[in-house]
Structure 1
């Protein structure tokens, strides 16, 4: 399964946390990455739980609780970035996909 690199995921998180990226665009990017990973050859060992968990979170970056009212904001995105960095600091994590 092919996943984006940690660097690619971190760029998306930084863009959200700084308010430089549109949540809709990041959510779309994450959804596509998840779809590619799920459709790819499952025998390939390129798995990273830290990346997968971040993609799942990013796939909800643009959720709304009411019309034009986002569920998440800059503080949430900054927390997601912190969580990602903490997970990345723990080192490699390759247990395989957990279906959402």
Structure 2
């Protein structure tokens, strides 16, 4: 099935299980990237080290995969937020800004930290 024929991703509300393999849970390896990579992207966005457009493009590419790790709530939420980081309220007014990017980072750190 081509990527254009794939159904829209529907989130399943359940906790990540060990069925995904070692490290698939909190703080582990996700989608071939480590959870710290998501944190790094959020930090770069909040600090202005990278553009909202760059982070949005990266997040959308990850979200388009078929990986079962997308069901991890903390990962999906962070990717969803990053994918919309470049949205505009008007042609010259971003919908999200530095304060909100910092809040996303804090939320992700809280949700993805081992209990």
TM-score, length-scaled by structure 2:
0.66
Greater RCO between the two (CA within 8 Å, min separation 6)? 1
Aligned to 1:9: 38
Deviation above 6 Å: which 4+ runs of structure 1? none
List gaps (5 residues or longer) in structure 2: 1-19, 21-29
How far, CA to CA, are the matches of 2:52 and 2:44 in structure 1?
A: 9
Aligned residues: 86
Which residue, out of 49, 55, 60, partners 1:26? Answer: 55
Aligned-pair distance for 1:90?
A: 4.9
List gaps (5 residues or longer) in structure 1: 92-100
Give the greater-gyration-radius structure (CA): 2
Aligned to 1:67: 91
Aligned-pair distance for 1:47?
A: 5.2
Per-residue CA distance 1:21-47 (angstroms, 9 max, x = gap): 1000000000000002x3x5x5xx685
Is 1:83 the counterpart of 2:99? The answer is no
RMSD after superposition: 2.1
